[in-house]
């Protein structure tokens, strides 16, 4: 059973974790199979602390205490797009030209014409992916559908959104039955926050995969 107590600035959670603040800063200790001891609350250690809390499914109150008490900083958990201009790839490229490259999925351009979008060939189970650069706790994926033709927009259906540490280790975040409408903005939330470096969209049928933009919203620690 998980227990916690707060005495002044001392926080103790079972035998797993303790945090206390001093005038010189903050001291964090994690005890377990591989104990770690973080001597200060810099951004890297603070993020490691938050990752530990999330990975071990600690309580929400502990997360709140961490972000409020670490070195007295005004910090908060926030969710923001982590896919912008990150490396991308796709199963194929329609009429291979720059205007249909996979990179257009994360360029934050949402045009009204037939340029700067992701379009694959018509093929079985076409896909697109983005490499976030490191692992994040992914909360949701948002997709902007094509604006230029209704028949193109309807291709966005029976689509799996998966998340994982590698492209060979992906788990389902959300499934979109569709079909989507022209210019529609889809917000697909994972059933729970999922840890991963890669996010992949894949149509489970024979068709083109086409869309304008993707944003991947993940948990980060924001400090002011």
Per-residue pLDDT of the chain (224 residues; tens, 9 = 90+): 333 333 333 333 343 444 433 333 444 444 443 434 444 444 555 555 656 655 554 445 555 555 555 544 444 568 899 999 999 999 999 987 778 999 999 999 887 777 789 999 999 999 999 999 999 999 999 999 998 888 898 999 999 999 999 999 999 999 999 999 999 999 999 999 999 999 999 999 999 999 999 999 999 765 54
Based on the fold, state whether residues 113 and 170 are members of the same structural domain: yes
Based on the fold, state whether residues 23 and 103 are members of the same structural domain: no
Alpha helices in 34-85 (DSSP H): 43-55, 60-69
Based on the fold, state whether residues 104 and 11 are members of the same structural domain: no
Of 20, 41, 73, at which residue does a domain stop?
73
Tell me the DSSP string of 22-33. Answer: ETTEEEEEE-ST
Question: By the 8 A CB rule, do 110 and 183 touch?
Answer: no
pLDDT number for residue 30 = 40
Q: How far apart are CA 92 and CA 201, in angstroms?
A: 13
In the chain, how many domains are there?
2
Based on the fold, state whether residues 64 and 89 are members of the same structural domain: no
Based on the fold, state whether residues 99 and 208 are members of the same structural domain: yes
pLDDT digits (tens, 9 = 90+) for 130-167: 999 999 999 999 999 998 888 898 999 999 999 999 99
Question: In sequence order, what are the residues at sequence separation of 6 or more whose Cβ sits closer than 8 angstroms to the Cβ of residue 33?
Answer: none
pLDDT number for residue 50 = 59
* pTM for this model (two decimals): 0.66
- And the tokens for 44? 């890297």
* Structure-token match 């939330």, residue found: 189
**CATH number for the domain that contains residue 162:** 2.60.120.260
Segments forming the whole domain that contains residue 129:
81-223
Residue 131's CB is within 10 A of a number of other CB atoms, namely: 15
pLDDT number for residue 4 = 33
Question: By the 8 A CB rule, do 80 and 67 touch?
Answer: no
Of 15, 50, 73, at which residue does a domain stop?
73
* Structure-token match 């994982």, residue found: 164
- CA-CA-CA-CA torsion for 47, 52, 58, 62, nearest 10 degrees? -40
pLDDT number for residue 55 = 56
Of 29, 53, 73, at which residue does a domain stop?
73
Q: How far apart are CA 49 and CA 29, in angstroms?
A: 9
């Amino acid at each position: 059973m998980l227990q916690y107590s707060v005495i002044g600035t001392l926080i103790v959670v079972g035998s797993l974790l303790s945090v206390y603040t001093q005038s010189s800063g903050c001291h964090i200790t994690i005890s377990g199979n591989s104990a770690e001891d973080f001597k200060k609350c810099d951004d890297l250690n603070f993020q490691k602390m938050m990752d530990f809390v999330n990975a071990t499914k600690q309580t929400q109150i502990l997360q709140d205490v961490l972000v409020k008490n670490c070195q007295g900083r005004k910090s908060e958990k926030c969710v923001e797009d982590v896919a912008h201009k990150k490396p991308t790839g796709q199963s194929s490229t329609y009429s291979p030209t720059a205007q249909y490259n996979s990179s257009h999925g994360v360029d934050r351009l949402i045009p009204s014409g037939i340029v700067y979008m992701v379009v694959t060939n018509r093929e079985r189970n076409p896909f697109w992916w983005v490499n976030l650069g490191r692992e994040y706790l992914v909360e949701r994926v948002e997709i902007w559908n094509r604006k230029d033709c209704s028949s193109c927009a309807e291709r966005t259906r029976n689509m799996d959104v998966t998340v994982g540490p590698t492209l060979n280790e992906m788990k389902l975040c959300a499934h979109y039955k569709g079909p989507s409408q022209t210019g529609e903005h889809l917000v697909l939330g994972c059933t729970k926050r999922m840890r991963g470096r890669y996010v992949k969209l894949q149509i489970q049928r024979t068709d083109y995969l086409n869309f304008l933009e993707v944003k991947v919203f993940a948990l980060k620690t924001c400090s002011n």
